[in-house]
Amino acid sequence: MIITVASGKGGVGKTTVTANLGVALAKLGKKVLLIDGDISMANLGIIFNLEKKKPSLHDVLAGECDVKEAIYRHRSGVYILPTSLSIEGYKKSDLDLFPEVVSEVADNYDYVLIDAPAGLNRDMAIHLAVADKVLIVTTPELFSISDGLKIKQSSIMAGTPIMGVVLNRTGRDFGEMGVEEIEMILEEKIICKIPEDENIRNATLKRMSVIEYAPKSPAAVAHMELALKILGSYVDIHRIEDVYREGFLERIKRLLWRFIR
């Protein structure tokens, strides 16, 4: 499944949601590819310390290398197609090739998450059209929600269904809008609330996902819950640790089985 993670404006935490959701899905046993689709203002690679890797998506979109040469496996378990920070790389990239690049590798993964550029422009239209579903990231402020509504409308025009809305950075302000009010405006379901958590910032500074940096933190648990919902599995947020334990026990069982044989 190809999921474009989109937001109407910058600063809502779209890139960190993409990164941490990808790691969460990988922890749950899925093969995940993260694509830094913002070819002009790339940020996803920074979280994984891959922003200087060569080749990158810029080189792929310039026709200088095969896409598989620009995909890297990270220690967290996810695969990443990063975009460089180079202005020259951006200038030589042909975004019209992007759908072809995605379709070439999508079947090799359970999930492909595209970190789309913020705002509404031609680049965003391509990212919405290439996806199977769109995940909208917003914060509980009126302007952010208004811009999220524009993303929804653009997704409808592209013929791509909305998977749901992630309400990010909650709990910062007593005056923030409530879930019911936001759902009424967007006419979409909020499938996950991710709280404001300093561990996100600290993890980014360490070039890590928050799931690696602080796996029991509120933000890490929320991203695991989001991953479970996307997989179609519900589990109580307080039982997330059971998921890790079950995964560990399964690995032990496999090792024991090999030994017995």
Q: Residues comprising the binding site? A: 9-16
User: Which of left, alpha, beta for 165 (phi over 0: left; psi -120 to 50: alpha)?
Assistant: beta
What strands lie across the sheet with 190-195, from one edge to the other?
Answer: 72-73, 79-81, 32-36, 111-115, 2-6, 133-138, 162-170, 190-195
Locate 168 and state its tokens. 């990010």
Counting Cβ atoms within 10 Å, is residue 45 exposed (0-12), middle (13-18) or buried (19+)?
buried
∠ CA 188-169-192, nearest 5°, is: 40
Say which residue the tokens 């999930």 belong to.
Answer: 111
Binding site residue list for ATP: 9-16
Residue closest to 193 by CA, chosen among 208, 177, 204: 177
